[in-house]
A = this chain, B = another copy of it.
Amino acid sequence: MRCEVLAVGTELLLGQIVDTNSTWIGEQLAASGIDSYEHRAIGDNQARIVAALRDLLSEADAVIVCGGLGPTPDDLTRDAIAQLLGVPLVRDLALAEQIATMFRSRLRDMPENNLRQADIPEGGDAIPNPIGTAPGLRCVLDGNVVYAVPGVPYEMQKMVTEHVIPDLLRRSGEAAAIVSRNLKTWGTSESALAELIADRVDAQSNPTIAFLARGIEGLVVRITAKAATPLEARALVEREERELREILGDLVFGVDDETIEYAVLAQLRKRGWSLGVAESVTGGLIGARIVNVPGASDVFRGTIASYATEVKRSVLGVTAEVVVSEEAAREMAEGARRVLGADVGVAATGVAGPTEQDGIAVGTVCFGLAFPDGTTEAVTARLPGDRERIRQFSAISLLNLLRLRLDARP
């Protein structure tokens, strides 16, 4: 089964928006074992949409067209598909009523144009859109299939997950259920990770194992299983996950949408400990990451970003002469515990550049940790990259260090 992606929208060609939809669809197709050889983006031009569809379908079994389903005159995907099929557009009256109802329930007048979204190429099916006005389309041509989905990411994702991928799998006669899980890791390089699990990768067939590099968010090991039912597929994934976790140990910090800060907060919550942060080089970034976890307020007391040296001294009580040092990091962590009234204090102080500071090289970052029993720890890291990257690296490295230390504590 081979399925290409066609993104429609002049704004994509003009570089006004980044085409993350094609990326997302490509990821879903790959995870479902469906080949994709080409992604194409073209403008809002009916003749060109028709030509591109014809061209792509001459080699592939299916095309997902993304965008151009809106109500305005430059939304031409519907008309292009009808032209390709050589059929008229037929208004689906039930759909039209549904769209009118949605407008009424939002107390808005419906522009007449919006009813165009109820037009379906004769012989095609509408794909329901429970969260927007534009339904998707599924049309078959000479045994191949064209799916049209809206360009609004959330609506598109729901339709692709719930309708398009299952339909493609049915058509391909492949296993009905695909289950994936992402094991998220931090702390090693892609090649070292690959070496660690080389035996599992060599032995893979079902589930399959893939690597995804997520930049500053670490490396992901994706396990994907196919089976007759979701239950069986999930069991296959879980068996492989146990094998991989056995090998990877504490490199794995979470699964799927879990972040390092999520893992840290969960560990602290389990122990009933609160967290305070003192940061310098990161300017507040560590706190900003932590509060992105819903429910962070159970655990997180706050962060003091002491950018100026005097603030480190007056607010956090740092006495170390050199403020980028392990001694200073330790004092900052203790200061965070004390000033913020937290059980655990962590700190980061360093040099993000562009130039060295007091003879300390760009990329030098000291981390401090202070625990409820009064013990403290400090480590120094040399982080690569520019200003922004050093900051991001500092935040995630400190959070990971805390995760490992909490893991190791009785």
Binding site for B on A (CB under 8 A): 12-20, 22-30, 36-43, 45, 48, 52, 55, 212-213, 274, 277, 279, 281-288, 290-292, 294, 296-297, 300-308, 310-311, 314-315, 339-341, 352, 354, 387-388, 391
> Which residue in B212, B291, B339 is a CB contact (below 8 Å) of A307?
B291
Q: Which of B48, B287, B341, B388 is within 8 Å of A284, CB to CB? A: B287
**What residues of chain B lie closer than 8 Å to A25, measured between beta carbons?**
15
Do B307 and A16 touch (CB < 8 A)?
Answer: no
Contact B302 A302 (CB under 8 A): no
Determine if A307 and B315 form an interchain contact, defined as CB atoms under 8 angstroms apart: no
* Cross-chain contact B41 with A38 (CB below 8 angstroms): yes
CA of A307 to CA of B292, assembled, Å = 12
Q: In the bound complex, do residue A23 and residue B27 qualify as a contact, i.e. CB atoms below 8 Å apart?
A: no
C-alpha spacing A290/B279, complex, angstroms: 14
In the complex, A207→B15 CA distance in Å? 19
**Distance in angstroms between the alpha carbons of A308 and B275 in the assembled complex:** 11
The verdict on A24 contacting B15 (CB below 8 Å), with A37-B43, A311-B301, A311-B340 known, is yes
* Residues in B neighbouring A297, C-beta threshold 8 A: 307-308
CB distance from A400 to the nearest CB of B (A): 18
Instruction: Assess whether A282 is in contact with B292, with CB atoms less than 8 Å apart.
Output: no
Known contacts A23-B18, A294-B354: A311-B302 contact under CB 8 Å: yes
Q: How far is the CA of A286 from the CA of B283 in the complex (A)?
A: 9
Q: Whole-angstrom distance from the CB of A319 to the nearest CB of chain B?
A: 18
A12 contacts B37, CB within 8 Å? no
Q: Is the CB of A15 within 8 A of B19?
A: no
Q: How far is the CA of A13 from the CA of B38 in the complex (A)?
A: 7
Checking B36, B212, B277, B284 against A286 with a beta-carbon cut-off of 8 angstroms, the contacting residue is B284
User: Pick the contact of A302 from B39, B308, B339, B352 — CB < 8 Å?
Assistant: B308
Instruction: Kindly provide the distance from the CB of A407 to the nearest chain B CB, expressed in whole angstroms.
Output: 24
Chain B: CB-nearest residue to A392: B288
* CB within 8 Å for A37 and B48 given contacts A18-B18, A302-B307: yes
Q: Which residues in B have their C-beta under 8 angstroms from that of A19?
A: 18-19, 22-23, 39
Alpha-carbon distance between A304 and B314 when the two chains are bound, in angstroms: 13
The answer on a CB contact under 8 Å between A287 and B302 is no
Q: Are A391 and B30 in contact (CB under 8 A)?
A: no
Provided the pairs A315-B339, A315-B340 are in contact, do residues A26 and B13 lie with their beta carbons within 8 angstroms? Answer: yes
Nearest chain B CB to A383's CB is how many angstroms away? 15
A102 to B288, CA, bound (A): 40
User: What CA separation (Å) do A42 and B26 show in the bound complex?
Assistant: 12
Find out whether the CB atom of B315 lies under 8 angstroms from the CB atom of A303. Answer: no
Of the candidates B28, B288, B341, the one whose C-beta lies within 8 Å of that of A311 is B341
